[in-house]
Structure formats: structure tokens, C-alpha cells
Structure 1
Amino acid sequence: MRAGPVHEALAALALVDHHCHGVVAGPLDRAGFEELLTEGDRWPGSSSFDTPAGVAVRRYCAPLLDLDRHAPPEEYLARRADLGPREVNRRLLTAARTGRFFVDTGFDADRLTPPAELAALAGASAHEVVRLETVAEAVAARGVDAGGYADAFRAAALDAVRAPGVVAVKSVAAYRTGFDLAPARPSDAEVTRAARTWLSAGGRLTDPVLVRHLLWTAVDLGLPLQLHTGFGDRDIRLHRADPALLTDWLHLIAGTIPVLLLHCWPYQRQAAFLAAVFEQVYLDVGLTLHHVGPVRARAVLEEALEITPFRKLLYSSDAYGVAEFHALGALAFRRGLGDLLQDRVDAGELSLADALRLARWAGADNALGVYRLPDGH
């Protein structure tokens, strides 16, 4: 493993993870653990340990549990069970050396640690990100007529974002409809017609008009908006999750709220273009980092940084379910960014002072500034 002044600075930096989830607080059997190691399906004869993420867990997380590197899956899972969920989570979360977590609480909340518990395990602080689709579906579940849906959703969203510790909202439109949506704000009549159809059918919010209404409501709320883009589970239609499809909408909302493009792979270059030409657009390559592993993290970060203004790159892990992904995401980010910046310093393409400043910006300060939290610059 390389070492240099930039690596040392990143190692000492308390990261700001601007998008993640809680971890499972209870025990996991092999099937449960392997399910959380992958975004895809498992099939007979396969193992999630036989993936880049699974190999990285055995390489980098095993020593944190007092095992040899590359410990066999059976030994790894046995040690996990011996230590117990709380100790495993504590060790892996503290190894990430994250100072602040911004936690999406809108999915699987009954199973995962809430923000305060996640922060306590890590010796850190936490803030909440409100998932707007979850708010909309709760409004529908409580019962509302089609004509009152828009006002009821807006009121519920306002209540949610006024709760203590909330710093942002999020949409998973990429999963529900994709981004090839009409960019304009839908009319009241369009929303009512769409709500009538959805409320009579029930289920998840997947109506394109109501998803457009949700995105415009996010603009009205005034908080930073996180948008899942690119890589995800099998619900994603990847060609519709290209953030470049948001271009016309971004023109319409210019001068309003920050838009944070999450994950982005394999569209990190498209996201970089948007960050370069739209003042309000920022990006990360979270989720991607622990799935490609520390060895390939540099390549993804390098493509994202080809044209991204240095004030526009943020760190996130998008870790979900297993604390291993918190540890791996942080390690991959520190190593990947450290390697590429240190190489530029060594080649005379970047001063050390600039490299240290850019590392601090990406690892912490950019997020603190966008979300208007103390210690941002």
C-alpha cells in the first residue's frame, strides 16, 4: 500500500459521508449476509463472496475482526457470529473514520440502525436525509382524495424536513420512472388526474407525472436534493438512470437548490459534465467504490475528476445493511483519491498544497458547505 503526504492527510481526515444508510443491528446468517453483499440476485451454485466486493471484504475487513487476510467465508462468518452484531458494527464503523453520516432513513427503517445509533457506534455525528417517495407513499396509505393529494404531500414533506437533524431530501426517481421525464412542472389538473389513477391502484409511486411533481416539490422545499443515478439493483433500467437525461430540468431549476448526483457509475463522465456546466450540480461515486474495491476506485475517481470542478466532488459510501461497506467505501475513497493526487504531485502537475486542499474539500469540506453545516468553507 502506497504512502505519501496526501495519503497521510486523507488518513487523518474525518470523512463526511453525505449519503449512506444504517446497518442491520441483529445477527445475519450466511444467506442474509450474502444477500447484502450484492445489488443483484443470487442463484444456485453462486456466492456473493465470489465478487469484487466479496473478495474485498475478506481482504480488508477480515483483519479488523482479528482474522488473516483472505480468511475463507466460513471463518469470516463464524468470527462475525462470535463477536456479535454490535461489536462487528462498532469495529468496522470506527475503522471507516467517518466524522459525520448523512443517513437516508426512507428504506427498510425497521431493520436498520437509525442515524443516532449509527453515529454512536462510530463515535461520530449523524444527520437525516428524507426520502420523498416514502413520504408520498405514507400520504397515500393514510388516505387522501385525488384533489387533495398535492397539498397533503407538500404538507407532509414540510413536516418531515422540519424535524431536527434533517439536512436534505432524496428521490429514487431513477428506480421508479427513470429520468426521461418531461422537465416542466406538471399542472394541478395533471397531478390530480395522475393521483386519482395511482390512489385507486395503490402500490409504489411510479407515475411519471407524480414523480415530476415530487421533484418540483423538492425544489420548493429549498433543501439540497440527492438523486440516485446510475448503478443500483435490478429495479433500475440503467439506460434511464443516466443523469444527462436531467439536463432540461436542470436548466429550468437554475438558481434554486443544490442537486447531488449519487453514485453515477457508469455515467461518472456525464455527471462530471453536468457538474462542470451547472452551478448547482455536485456528484459522488459512492456505492461504486465498495463494489469495485480499493484497487479500481482510483480509475472511477479519475474519470469523475477529468472535468469536475474540485469544489463539486463529495464523498459518500452509500453503505447499506453491513458495516463492511462503510469501512470499504472509506478505504477505497482514501486510497483512490490519495493515489491519483499524489501521482500528480510527484509528476509536478499539482502542488502539494493544492493536493492537500483538494483532498480535504472532497473528503469533508465540500459536503459541509453544500449542506450549510459548521466548519464548511
Structure 2
Amino acid sequence: MPAAGPVHEFLRALPLVDHHCHGVSTADLPPGRFEPLLTEGGAWPGVSPFDTPVGVAVRRHCAPLLDLPRHAPAADYLARRSDLGPHEVNRRFLTAAHVEALCVDTGYTPHPGTSPAELAGAAGATAHEVVRLERVAEELAARGVTAGAYAAGFRAAAEDAVHRPGVVAVKSVAAYRTGFALDPERPAAAEVTRAAGRWLARGGRLTDPVLVRHLLWTAVDLGLPLQLHTGFGDADLRLHHADPALLTDWLRLTAGTVPVLLLHCWPYHRQAAYLAAVFERVHLDVGLTLHHTGPARARAVLEEALEITPFRKLLYSSDAYGVAEFHHLGALSFRQGLAGMLQARVDADELSLSDALRIAAWTGRDNARRLYGLPENDPARD
């Protein structure tokens, strides 16, 4: 039975702004392709991804949207998903998420997958784009830029990308490529040229520390909100290099410039909360943590994230990728977790009800609207 109380009722009705997510697959996903998408670790021989906290949450909270009983067996779940087909599955889960706007990272997409407009159409929402800057740099390298022209070429390519209609932010995955233990200073032009020469001769992904620093400082120059992956991800990441506290010196140097959005953060969400509490332009979410824990533990994660975070600094994101279930499960976990926390504080007389409802609206929708300049009344909900 759903939890009751005025905060729960308010959050169930509140259309969310998902400030960081990805597209979903438009292909039929047989077990061998669906199951690896459930976890950051993929699928291992003899171990089902359904036998994880997120797998259990999918069977409990997503099965009813496929007309199955709660806790339906994995085989039944997969068979029903296949029977309905990807279009109907995506429509059901995206509609159930009840979002009014989606900020979509287009730098990492499932193939074949939804465009931002297709994702928003299935959700009954509006779409906005987040430009991944590493992809801009790698596309520039693929076009044959010279080392001497790299710095100016990257700046021009990034400016072209952010001036596309609907772009509201940029993103970096520096946490994956180098980690955050970087020299915080802006690199000199000659240093960038030498580093570009090394990278262009070697090829491959952008992993040079000097060029990653240059990318981050270029992001500041672009003037849009900057999203940074922090905390856990897949096995390509060295987790201890993704602690956002390592950004402290860089945040000091860039104070007063662009909003910095720390994505996901777990298990460093307390470090991220500290940064948000002491740096004016730092904000955070707990992102994919919510669907990986599911509603059973979402409240605990949000309680820790909000121990010292100013209430205008926490945003909602699903970081859903590949499977539409994560759009629904992320939103459900956020609503239930935040409502449980706020309602408990109201019941204990630690918050007034009006304060709790303001915090719920700020976190679920209005903080993102303000930071990204989104319209107050989204036409998708008129």
C-alpha cells in the first residue's frame, strides 16, 4: 500500500524535471541484452542481474506496469516485455515517471536508441540537450585537426555545439578519463599544444590530463551549467579518483563562474554535500543511486545527501540509460524516499508542512528550472 501523508500526496502529483538522463533502447531486448543493462557490472556467468537490489526493485515496482503481479519471476518479466515490444514498454515506463522536462546527455546513447525528442514524446515531456565535451574533442580529432589548431578548434566546436537549439548544459566525464586529482590551474597555450600533439599521434579516447584540464576550463568559458560525473559508475572508473572533494582547489579557482552540477556522487554524497554547502555555485544529485537502491533504501541515501546540503542545491535525476524501467524506478524511488524523509520531519515537528512542500518542489523541479533556465510552465503539462 502506498505511504500516505500530505508530502507523499504532493510528490506523487508533482511533475519532475529529470536534469540528467540518457536515451532508451528502441530494439527488442532479449535476456542476453536486457540483463546486462540492469547493473553497472553487466552480467556474469551463473549470476543473474535480477538477483541484485536493482533487479529485485524492477520485479517489484516495474512488473505491475507490464500487467504482471508484483515480484513476477524474471522469466515471466522478460517474456511479457518481449510480447509488448519496445515502443509500448518505453511508453508505459516513461509516462509513469511523470516528468515535465528531460535534460538528455547525447554523448552516450544506446544503439538503436531514442533521440531526445523521441524520449520526451514517449514521456509527454519536453526535451533539452546536454553536450558531452569529451565527444566534441574526439570528433574534432577524428576530423584531422593539427596540434597547433587544437585549442582554438575545440573552443569553436564546443561553441557550435552549445548553440544548437535546446542545449542547456555541458557535461564532462573527467572522472572516468583521468580522475579529479588534476592540477587545478588553467593550462598554458603551449602546454595544450604539446599535449594535443601527443594525443593526436597516439589516438584513442581523450585521457591526457592537460587536455582534460583544458576541457574543464573551456567549459567555464562557455558559460553554461557544467555537469560532472562523480562517484560510482561502471568498471571503466577508478572510484577513488571520482571523489568530488578532489575538485576543491579547482572549485576555488572557478568560484563565481558557472553552476557546477555534481552527478550521482554515491558513496561520496556527503563530500558533495560539503562542497554544496561551502561553494555558492555547486549543486548535486544522487542520480542512478536511487534506482540501484530502489525505494527500499532511497530515503536513507537522500537523508545522508541532505544532512547539510542547502535545500536549493539538490536536484532530481534518474541517469536512466538503455532501459525505460530506470526512468520509472528512479522517479518512484525519489518520490517515495524524499516524501518519507520530509513527512517524518513534519511529524516530528522538525519542519513545517509548508517548508516540506517547498523543499519537495525545489528538489523535484524548481531547482533545475532555475539553473537551466527552463520555463516556469512547461507546455507539455498545459
TM-score tier by shorter-chain length is over 0.9
Partner of 1:78: 79
Cα pair 2:42 2:49 within 8 Å, conserved: no
SS at match of 2:19: strand
Kindly report which structure 2 residues correspond to 1:194-273, keeping only aligned pairs within 5 A, or say none: 194-273=195-274
- Pairwise CA distance, 1:239: 0.4
Comparing 85-94 with 103-112, greater Cα deviation is found at 103-112
Partner of 2:330: 329
Amino acid at match of 2:147: A
Residue 97 (structure 2) pairs with residue 96 (structure 1): yes
Distance 1:270 1:43 in 2: 32
Q: Deviations over 1:184-206 (max 9, x none)?
A: 00000110110000001100000
Amino acid at match of 1:14: P
SS at match of 1:226: strand
Partner of 1:44: 45
- Pairwise CA distance, 1:109: 5.8
Gaps of 5+ in 1: none
SS at match of 1:272: helix
After TM superposition, which residue ranges in structure 1, 4 or more long, deviate above 3 angstroms? none
Distance 1:327 1:190 in 2: 46
Partner of 1:362: 363
Residue 369 (structure 2) pairs with residue 375 (structure 1): no
Comparing 41-50 with 163-172, greater Cα deviation is found at 41-50
Kindly report which structure 2 residues correspond to 1:304-315, keeping only aligned pairs within 5 A, or say none: 304-315=305-316
Q: 1:109 to 1:46 in 2, by over 3 A?
A: closer
Partner of 1:147: 148
SS at match of 1:18: strand
Alpha carbon RMSD of aligned pairs, Å?
0.8
Amino acid at match of 1:309: P
Residue 323 (structure 2) pairs with residue 318 (structure 1): no
Amino acid at match of 1:57: V
Amino acid at match of 2:359: L
- Pairwise CA distance, 1:42: 2.2
Partner of 2:7: 6
- Pairwise CA distance, 1:108: 2.9
Partner of 1:57: 58
Distance 2:222 2:364 in 1: 27
Amino acid at match of 2:204: G
Kindly report which structure 2 residues correspond to 1:181-192, keeping only aligned pairs within 5 A, or say none: 181-192=182-193
- Pairwise CA distance, 1:275: 0.2
Distance 1:273 1:51 in 2: 30
Distance 1:111 1:135 in 2: 21
Partner of 1:113: 114
Q: Deviations over 1:213-260 (max 9, x none)?
A: 000000000000000000100011000000000000000001100000
Cα pair 2:24 2:110 within 8 Å, conserved: no
Comparing 109-118 with 307-316, greater Cα deviation is found at 109-118
Distance 2:110 2:290 in 1: 24
Distance 1:111 1:175 in 2: 24
Distance 1:132 1:147 in 2: 19
Residue 295 (structure 2) pairs with residue 280 (structure 1): no
Gaps of 5+ in 2: 378-382
The alignment of Structure 1 onto Structure 2 pairs a total of residues equal to 376
- Pairwise CA distance, 1:147: 0.5
Amino acid at match of 1:258: P
Distance 2:43 2:367 in 1: 37
% identical aligned pairs: 75
Partner of 1:179: 180
SS at match of 2:330: helix
Query: TM-score with structure 2 length normalisation?
Result: 0.97
Q: Deviations over 1:47-106 (max 9, x none)?
A: 110110110000000000000011111110110011110000000000110110000000
Distance 1:162 1:179 in 2: 28
Distance 2:44 2:318 in 1: 26
Distance 2:32 2:230 in 1: 28
Q: Deviations over 1:108-130 (max 9, x none)?
A: 36432110000001111110000
SS at match of 2:301: helix
